[in-house]
Amino acid sequence: EKNALKEEKLKQEEKYKWAIVDGVKEK
């Protein structure tokens, strides 16, 4: 169960990271 939570957190961080990358690309 803890693993699933960690996976979810990683996915959220990935999304956040890519959102930043996309924002940088647009400038």
What ranges do the domains of the chain cover? 1-26
> How far is the first Cα of the chain from the last one, in angstroms, to the nearest whole number?
40
Q: Rounded distance, CA 5 to CA 8, Å?
A: 5
Please name the amino acid found at residue 10.
Answer: L
Q: Encode pLDDT of 6-27 as tens digits.
A: 999 999 999 999 999 999 988 7
Q: Rounded distance, CA 12 to CA 25, Å?
A: 20
What pLDDT, on a 0 to 100 scale, did the predictor assign at position 19?
95
What pLDDT, on a 0 to 100 scale, did the predictor assign at position 25?
87
For the whole prediction, is pTM greater than 0.85? Answer: no
What pLDDT, on a 0 to 100 scale, did the predictor assign at position 26?
80
Q: Count the helix, strand and coil residues of the chain and give each as a percent rounded to the nearest 5.
A: 95, 0, 5
Residue 20 vs residues 1, 8, 23, 27: alpha-carbon distances, Å:
29, 19, 5, 11
